[in-house]
Amino acid sequence: MSVEEKIKTLRAELALHNHKYYVLDAPVISDYEFDQLLINLQELEQANPQFFDPNSPTQRVGGTVTKNFVTVQHDHRMYSLDNSYSKEDLLDWEVRLLKVIQQPLSFMCELKYDGASISLTYENGLLLRAVTRGDGIQGDEVTANIRTIKSIPLKVAAPSNERFDIRGEIIMTKSGFEALNEKRRALGEEEFKNPRNTASGSLKLQNSAEVAKRPLSCLLYSIQGANWPIETQKDMLHQARNMGFKVPSEARLAKNMDEVLAFIDYWEKHRHELPYEIDGVVIKVNELAHQNILGHTAKAPRWAMAYKYKAEEATTLLNQVVYQVGRTGAITPVAELEPVDLAGTVVKRASLHNADQIEKLDLHFGDTVVVEKGGEIIPKITAVKIGLRPDGAVPVGFIDQCPECGSALVRLAGEAQHYCLNEQNCPPQISGRIQHFISRKAMDIDGLGEETVTLMVKKGLIHDFADLFTLKVEDIVPLERMGEKSAQNLVQGVQESIRQPYSKVLFALGIRHVGETVAQKLTQAFPNIELLRRATEAELVAVDDIGLKIAQSLLNYFENDENWYRIKRLRAYGCQFETQNDVEQKVQSRVLEGMTFVVSGVFQNLSREEVKALIIAHSGIIVGSISGKTSYVLAGDQMGPSKRQKAEKLGIPIISEEDFFKMIAPNP
Contacts of residue 72, Cβ cutoff 8 Å, sequence gap at least 6: 129, 131, 138, 139, 140, 141
DSSP 241-290: HHTT----TT-EEESSHHHHHHHHHHHHHHGGGSSS-EEEEEEEESBHHH
Q: Report whether 278 contacts 321 (CB < 8 A).
A: no
Q: Which of 69, 18, 11 is nearest to 45 (CA)?
A: 11
Active site amino acids: 112
What gap in Å lies between CA 467 and CA 445, rounded to an integer?
14
Q: Which residues of 387-401 are buried (b: 16+ CB within 10 A; e: fewer)?
A: eeeeeeeeebebeee
What gap in Å lies between CA 303 and CA 292, rounded to an integer?
9
What is the β-pairing status of strands 126-132 and 313-325?
A: unpaired
What gap in Å lies between CA 560 and CA 598, rounded to an integer?
32
What gap in Å lies between CA 442 and CA 229, rounded to an integer?
46
Q: Report whether 599 contacts 615 (CB < 8 A).
A: yes
Q: Which residues of 403-435 are buried (b: 16+ CB within 10 A; e: fewer)?
A: ebeebebeeeeeeebbbbebbeebebbbbbbbb
Phi and psi dihedrals of 492, rounded to 5? -65, -40
Mutual angle of helices 174-186 and 195-202, in 10-degree steps: 80
How many degrees, rounded to 5, is the angle at CA 441 between CA 475 and CA 433?
Answer: 50
Q: How far is CA 128 from CA 125, 159, 204, 222, in A?
A: 9, 17, 18, 17
What gap in Å lies between CA 641 and CA 645, rounded to an integer?
6
Phi and psi dihedrals of 323, rounded to 5? -125, 130
